[in-house]
Amino acid sequence: MSDLYSILGVQKGASQDEVKKSYRRLANKYHPDKTKGDKAKEEKFKEVQKAYEVLSDPQKRQQYDAFGSQGGPGMGGGMGFDPRDFAQNFGGAEAFSDIFEAFFGGGSQRGRSKSTKSQSIPGEDIRISLKIDFLDSVFGKEARINLKRIVKCESCGGSGAEKGSKIVTCQNCKGQGTIKEVRQTLLGQMVASKVCHVCNGEGKVPEKRCSKCNGHKRHSVNQEITVKIPAGIKSGSSIRLKGKGNEGIQSLDGDLYVQIVVEDSKKFIRQDYDIYTKCNISVIQAVLGDEIQIETVHGLETIEIPPGSEHGKQIILKGLGVPVLGQKDKRGNHIVVLQIDIPKKISKKERGLYLELAKESGLEIKPGKSGLLW
Ligand SMILES: [Zn+2]
Ligand SMILES: [Zn+2]
Residue 219 has a pLDDT of 95
Cα of 198 to ligand 2 centre, how many Å? 5
Cα of 283 to ligand 1 centre, how many Å? 75
CA–CA dist 123, 246 (Å, integer): 5
pLDDT grade, residue 2 (50/70/90)?
low
Cα of 355 to ligand 1 centre, how many Å? 89
* Ion ligand 1 contact residues with beta carbon within 5 A: 153, 155-156, 210, 212-213
Any idea which ligand is nearest the CA of 161? 1
Whole-structure pTM value:
0.59
4-91 against 269-342: fold identical: no
Choose among 124, 164, 367, 352: nearest CA to 247. 124
Query: How is residue 164 annotated by DSSP?
Result: T
- Predicted confidence (pLDDT) per residue in 120-163, tens digit: 889 999 999 999 999 999 999 999 999 999 999 999 999 889 98
- Predicted confidence (pLDDT) per residue in 323-355, tens digit: 999 887 899 999 999 999 999 888 999 989 999
CA–CA dist 21, 143 (Å, integer): 60
> In the CATH hierarchy, which top-level class contains the domain 269-342?
mainly beta
Any idea which ligand is nearest the CA of 154? 1
Task: Read off the pLDDT of each residue in 279-306 and give the average, rounded to a whole number.
Answer: 96
Residue 359 has a pLDDT of 92
Cα of 242 to ligand 1 centre, how many Å? 24
Any idea which ligand is nearest the CA of 195? 2
Cα of 116 to ligand 2 centre, how many Å? 14
pLDDT grade, residue 370 (50/70/90)?
low
- Asked which of 68-72, 96-100, 206-210, 232-236 is least confident by mean pLDDT, the reply is 96-100
Q: Is the pLDDT of residue 71 over 50?
A: no
Task: Read off the pLDDT of each residue in 98-110 and give the average, rounded to a whole number.
Answer: 36
CA–CA dist 316, 336 (Å, integer): 6
More confident residue, 269 or 165: 269
Q: Is the pLDDT of residue 28 over 90?
A: no
The 10 Å CB-count burial string (b at 16+, else e) for 135-163 is: ebbbebbebeeebebbbbbeebebbbbbe
Any idea which ligand is nearest the CA of 155? 1
Cα of 177 to ligand 2 centre, how many Å? 5
The helix (run of H) or strand (run of E) holding residue 340 is strand 334-341
Tally of CA atoms within 13 A in the half-sphere of 284 that contains its CB: 5
Task: Read off the pLDDT of each residue in 154-174 and give the average, rounded to a whole number.
Answer: 90
pLDDT grade, residue 227 (50/70/90)?
very high
Task: Read off the pLDDT of each residue in 55-62 and give the average, rounded to a whole number.
Answer: 81
Cα of 207 to ligand 1 centre, how many Å? 13
- Predicted confidence (pLDDT) per residue in 108-117, tens digit: 333 334 444 3
Q: Is the pLDDT of residue 52 over 70?
A: yes
Query: How is residue 367 annotated by DSSP?
Result: -
* Ion ligand 2 contact residues with beta carbon within 5 A: 170, 172-173, 196, 198-199
CA–CA dist 103, 192 (Å, integer): 8
More confident residue, 53 or 256: 256
Residue 292 has a pLDDT of 96
> In the CATH hierarchy, which top-level class contains the domain 122-149+218-264?
mainly beta
Does residue 210 come out as left (phi exceeding 0), alpha (psi in the -120 to 50 range) or beta?
beta
Domain boundaries, the chain: 4-91, 122-149+218-264, 269-342
Q: Is the pLDDT of residue 289 over 90?
A: yes
Any idea which ligand is nearest the CA of 196? 2
Choose among 134, 47, 89: nearest CA to 322. 134
CATH code for the structural domain at 4-91: 1.10.287.110
Residue 238 has a pLDDT of 95
Residue 3 has a pLDDT of 82
Q: Is the pLDDT of residue 295 over 60?
A: yes
